[in-house]
Amino acid sequence: MDKMKIQGRPLPGMPWEDRPAGCNDPIWRYSKNPVIPRDLLPDSNSIFNSAIVPFRDGYAGVFRCDDKNRRMTLHAGFSKDGLKWDINPETIRFEGADPEIGEWVYGYDPRVAEIEGSYYVTWCNGYHGPTIGIARTEDFVTFHQLENAFLPYNRNGVLFPRKINGKFAMLSRPSDTGHTAFGDIFYSESPDLEYWGHHRHVMAPAPFEVSAWQCMKIGAGPVPVETSEGWLLIYHGVLHSCNGYVYAFGSALLDLEKPWKAIARSGQYLMSPREIYELTGDVPNVTFPCTSLHDPDTGRIAIYYGCADTVTGLAFGYIPDIIEFTKRTNIL
Ligand code: BMA
C-alpha cells in the first residue's frame, strides 16, 4: 500500500511525548497534564475548550477563560513550545462588526483554522441564544469580526483548513438554548464566509446499543486533518448516564471532496474521562477536544482538550494509528 499522505506544514518542534510502555490505546495523555491550570490568569475560574495553532516561531491560541463572575470570555495567548502559555489577561475585543451582532454577550469553545494565510476564529457566540461567530486575525492582536454564520441556535462551528470545491466549508451542530439533549453534525458551504448554504447532514448520534458514548449528541472537535484516506475528524460524543452527561471523543473519516459523506466512524472512543482532572471539576466527566497540532512527516498529532470544564489537557498519537483504529472499530 502507498504511504498515507498527510497535508500540513512540517512541525518538528510540536509538543510531544512517546507512547508510554504498556499503553495499547490509540492516544495517550501528556505526563504532566493538565497543561494549562485553571488559575493561569488572576481572574480566571477555569481555562479549557481552547484553540491553538502554529504561529511564527511558536504557537498562538484563543482560550476559553471563564472568569470569577463565571462569564464566558475569549483571550489570546502565545507560547514558544505549546506547553507554557502566556495568556493576555484582557479579553479579545473583536472589531468591525455591525453593532447589532458585535455587542459582546458571551463567547465560548473557540476553534482556529488557518486558511490561505489568515487565521479564522469560530466560536459559540451569544446573539439571542448561541450561534457561530467568525473573526479573522493575522497576528492574534487585532481580530476583525465577520457576520455570524447561522441563525441561533448552533454550536461547535468548525472550519475546514482549505476551500472545498471553491467554497469555504464548515461543520456545525444545530442546538437549543440550553444544555441541548440532541445534536447531529451538519456541513455548510460559503463563497465569502458570510452567506452559508448547501447544508448537508454528516452524522447523527449512534444508537445506544451500538456505541453508547456518542448516543445522545455529537459535535465536531478540532479542525479536520486532510489525509489521502479522507478528512480525519475528531469529534465529541455524549452519553446521558444516570449521573449526568459524559463527554468522550472519537474519530471519523470524511470524504475529501464531499465531506458530508462519512467513510468510517469509530465505535470505540479515543478518550473518555478517566483521570482525576477529567472526572472532577466544575462539570465532572468531560473531555472536550477543540484543537490539534500535527506533523505530516512523522504523522504525530497533539490534541488539546478541555477537562471537566476546568483545565486544559493534552494527548498524543499518530494519525495513521488513529485512522487504522477508526476503520477497525467502524460502526457505519
Ligand atoms: C457543552 C458546551 C461545552 C462544555 C460541555 C460540558 O454543551 O457548553 O462548553 O464543555 O457542554 O459542560
Interval between CA 209 and ligand 1 midpoint (Å)? 24
pLDDT of 1 over the 70 cut: no
Q: Tell me: the pLDDT tens digits for 77-88?
A: 999 999 999 999
pLDDT of 134 over the 80 cut: yes
Neighbours of 32 (CB within 10 A): 9
The position carrying cell 445534536 is: 183
Phi, psi (deg, nearest 5) at residue 218? -140, 160
Interval between CA 76 and ligand 1 midpoint (Å)? 20
In sequence order, the β-bridge partners of residue 220 are 235
- Write down the H helix ranges in the chain: 99-102, 276-279, 319-328
Neighbouring residues of 319: CB distance < 8 A, sequence distance ≥ 6: 4, 6, 225, 227, 232, 294, 299, 300, 301
Interval between CA 215 and ligand 1 midpoint (Å)? 16
Alpha carbon nearest to ligand 1 atom 10, residue? 309
Q: Tell me: the pLDDT tens digits for 259-315?
A: 999 999 999 999 999 999 999 999 999 999 999 999 999 999 999 999 999 999 999
Question: In a mutational test of the pocket of ligand 1, which residue from 179, 305, 311 has the highest number of ligand atoms less than 8 Å from its CB?
Answer: 179
Q: What mean pLDDT do residues 95-114 have?
A: 96
As a whole-number percent, the residues of the chain with pLDDT over 70 amount to: 99
The ligand 1 atom at the shortest distance from the C-alpha of residue 309 is 10
CA distances from 230 to 4, 106, 291 (A): 10, 34, 18
Interval between CA 164 and ligand 1 midpoint (Å)? 29
User: Which one, of 72, 187, 161, lies nearest residue 123 by Cα?
Assistant: 72
Q: What mean pLDDT do residues 5-21 have?
A: 96
Question: In a mutational test of the pocket of ligand 1, which residue from 218, 286, 307 has the highest number of ligand atoms less than 8 Å from its CB?
Answer: 286
The ligand 1 atom at the shortest distance from the C-alpha of residue 179 is 7
At residue 209, what is the residue type?
A: E
pLDDT score for 248: 99
Neighbours of 2 (CB within 10 A): 5
Rounded to the nearest 5 degrees, what angle is found at the Cα of 265, between the Cα atoms of 320 and 230?
Answer: 50
Alpha carbon nearest to ligand 1 atom 7, residue? 179
pLDDT score for 326: 98
Question: In a mutational test of the pocket of ligand 1, which residue from 288, 291, 304 has the highest number of ligand atoms less than 8 Å from its CB?
Answer: 288
Protein residues with CB under 6 Å of any ligand 1 atom = 49, 108-109, 179, 247, 283, 286, 288, 306, 309
pLDDT score for 78: 98
Interval between CA 166 and ligand 1 midpoint (Å)? 33
Neighbours of 329 (CB within 10 A): 18
Q: What is the mean pLDDT of the chain?
A: 97
Say how far apart CA 289 and CA 247 lie, in whole Å: 10
Q: Tell me: the pLDDT tens digits for 141-156?
A: 999 999 999 999 999 9
- CB-count burial class (<10 Å; 0-12, 13-18, 19+) for 297: exposed
Pairing of β 168-174 and β 311-318 = unpaired
Res. 132 pLDDT band, cuts 50 70 90: very high
pLDDT score for 12: 87
Neighbouring residues of 271: CB distance < 8 A, sequence distance ≥ 6: 27, 248, 249, 287, 289, 305, 315
Alpha carbon nearest to ligand 1 atom 11, residue? 179
Neighbouring residues of 265: CB distance < 8 A, sequence distance ≥ 6: 203, 206, 250, 251, 252, 253, 326, 330, 331, 332
Alpha carbon nearest to ligand 1 atom 9, residue? 109
